[in-house]
Amino acid sequence: MKSPRLLRRCFAFCFVAVLSTAALRPAGNTSAATEASVTAAGFSTERLHRLDAVIEDEIARHQLAGGIMYIARDGKPVQFKTYGQQDIENSQPMRADAIFRIASMSKAVTTTAVMMLYEEGKFMLKDPISKYIPAFANPVVAVPPPPGSPEGTPFTTEKASRPITIRDLLSHTSGISYGYGPAAAAYKDAGFTSWYILGNDETIEQVVNRIASLPLNAQPGEKWIYGYSTDVLGRLVEVISGQPLDKFVEERITKPLGMRDTSYFLPPEKAGRLANVYGLEDGRLVLKETAAKSDFIQGPRKCFSGGAGMLSTTQDYARLLQMFLNGGELDGVRLLSPKTIELMHANHTGDKYLGEGDGFGLGFWVSVHQGKIGEIGSEGAYGWGSAYFPQYVVDPKERLVILFMTQLAPAGSSNLNHRVKQLTYQALIK
């Protein structure tokens, strides 16, 4: 027979385990206790059902395989719910701990790494990137042919008016694109046809040096141009820290924050948790990628794409977002100061960016004038999304984190990733 002391220890362990599991379990049918906590957080349970209904309708109409919706206010989950399937072919329901390719949501992690080094006094944001990556020493800008020129007339180049700064890279005003713009032909010739570089059999240093050899698509600081800027920043982290990007991120960000399933490549033992990628083609949902054919598992595992190369779970990414909302700290771990977070979600682009928000900070859109945006939300909120269709919002005014995780690419004409924000805000009643 076990001793009373051992029994007490076993009971305590089991009790804590049950609480921990319950905290991570997605909401099913809302219980009375859950309804009370949702109401206490200022949400209407009835109105939140509208969010459920819209996501479930997309799944029923075969426009989405599955996903996870996470909402938290004041750091407390209001909703954490799975929908549909992560593997239709094998009838595997969406798991609460499903692992997602997060593509451009990797940018928030890289930006955090850069700003941590900035806080250590390693550089100024106005420093030219060439000070640390010499390949950018002499940038040139592509000049498109004059209007009316014969088709196929090549672009010319001119010297950049000033160096590319670290701040230009953080705010996507460097002139570096994802292969579109006046210099599109040069990008194509250099092997850059999309954001996807994680399958490359080369290091990020090699990739960034090739990017540096290409003409810019605008003068530095002149336009907001989405592109490989954050991949360049990933290389900057390596140069400044003396560590590979994956090691720096693991040691300084994901491990301290308890983001156990966030990485650049996936250990084979976690392959069963990697959600399939589905896409909409001619209005039909089709399988695009499985774990068995994923570069995250089967690829060279060499190219750490700071702009679009990470994997994460809902629980993990929610911790990163909560850290932002808390002013740089979570559960006693401080990565950044409140003043740095404030700088990150200030508008650094004036009226150059007009997307989900009406301004752009250091790594994400920001809402400056709600009337310009024309959709429900809050001034001061910020966020971003992913080529695989996830979306997040951090709202300091409402003390709110919104996170929708899924794998849908191409997404066709679906705008569900934006409607989940609308449907979350409409359920907030106090």
Q: DSSP per residue over 382-404, as a string?
A: EEEE-TTS-EEEEETTTTEEEEE
Instruction: Record the pTM.
Output: 0.91
Output the domain CATH number for residue 203.
3.40.710.10
Q: Does 57 lie in the same domain as 75?
A: yes
What is the mean predicted confidence (pLDDT) over 2-31? 37
Q: Does 415 lie in the same domain as 351?
A: yes
Question: In this predicted model, what pLDDT tens digit does every residue of 122-131 receive, in sequence order?
Answer: 999 999 999 9
Convert 223-239 to b/e letters by CB count within 10 Å (16 or more is b): bbbbbbbbbbbbbbbbb
Cα(403)–Cα(415) distance, rounded to whole angstroms?
Answer: 15
Cα(78)–Cα(81) distance, rounded to whole angstroms?
Answer: 10
Is residue 27 a part of any domain in this protein?
A: no
Q: Does 183 lie in the same domain as 85?
A: no
Is residue 315 a part of any domain in this protein?
A: yes
**Which residues are registered as beta bridge partners of 79?**
71
Which of 243, 262, 294 is a domain's end point? 243
Does the bond joining 410 to the residue before it have cis omega, within 30 degrees of 0?
yes
pLDDT value of position 185: 94
SS (H, E, C) 273-287: HECCEEEEECCEEEE
Which of 216, 243, 270 is a domain's end point? 243
| Sequence-separated (6 or more) residues with CB below 8 Å from residue 401 | 70, 71, 72, 73, 318, 321, 322, 325, 392, 393, 394, 395
Q: Does 330 lie in the same domain as 219?
A: no
Asked if pLDDT for residue 30 goes beyond 50, the answer is no
- Domain enclosing residue 288, as ranges: 44-102+247-425
pLDDT class of 3 with cuts at 50, 70, 90 = very low
Q: Does 396 lie in the same domain as 266?
A: yes
Is residue 355 a part of any domain in this protein?
A: yes
Q: Does 138 lie in the same domain as 80?
A: no
Q: Does 262 lie in the same domain as 179?
A: no
Strands 100-101, 140-143: pairing kind: unpaired
Question: In this predicted model, what pLDDT tens digit does every residue of 376-386 receive, in sequence order?
Answer: 999 999 999 99
Instruction: Please give the single-letter amino acid code of residue 222.
Output: E
Question: In this predicted model, what pLDDT tens digit does every residue of 87-108 receive, in sequence order?
Answer: 999 999 999 999 999 999 999 9
Strands 284-289, 277-281: pairing kind: antiparallel
What is the mean predicted confidence (pLDDT) over 408-416? 97
pLDDT value of position 380: 97
What's the number of CA atoms in the CB half-sphere (13 Å) around residue 358? 14
| Mean pLDDT across the chain | 92
Q: Which residue has the tokens 């698509």?
A: 217
User: Between the CA of residue 73 and those of 319, 393, 416, what are the distances in Å?
Assistant: 13, 12, 22
Is residue 25 a part of any domain in this protein?
A: no
Q: Does 261 lie in the same domain as 217?
A: no
Cα(114)–Cα(343) distance, rounded to whole angstroms?
Answer: 13
Least confident of 35-44, 52-61, 272-281, 335-344: 35-44
Q: Does 226 lie in the same domain as 214?
A: yes
Q: Does 82 lie in the same domain as 170?
A: no
Q: Does 275 lie in the same domain as 412?
A: yes
Q: Are 301 and 265 in contact (CB under 8 A)?
A: yes
- 263 Cα distance to chain centroid: 13
Is residue 31 a part of any domain in this protein?
A: no
> Number of structural domains, the chain?
2
Q: Does 271 lie in the same domain as 400?
A: yes
| Sequence-separated (6 or more) residues with CB below 8 Å from residue 418 | 356, 375, 391
Cα(406)–Cα(412) distance, rounded to whole angstroms?
Answer: 15
What is the mean predicted confidence (pLDDT) over 212-230? 98
Is residue 157 a part of any domain in this protein?
A: yes
User: Between the CA of residue 387 and those of 14, 238, 279, 280, 292, what are the distances in Å?
Assistant: 40, 25, 11, 13, 20
Q: Is 400 exposed, middle or buried (0-12, 13-18, 19+ CB in 10 A)?
A: buried
Which of 228, 243, 258 is a domain's end point? 243
Is residue 35 a part of any domain in this protein?
A: no
Cα(32)–Cα(168) distance, rounded to whole angstroms?
Answer: 50
Is residue 171 a part of any domain in this protein?
A: yes
Q: Are 133 and 235 in contact (CB under 8 A)?
A: yes
Question: In this predicted model, what pLDDT tens digit does every residue of 354-392 receive, in sequence order?
Answer: 888 899 999 999 999 999 999 999 999 999 999 999 999
Asked if pLDDT for residue 302 goes beyond 50, the answer is yes
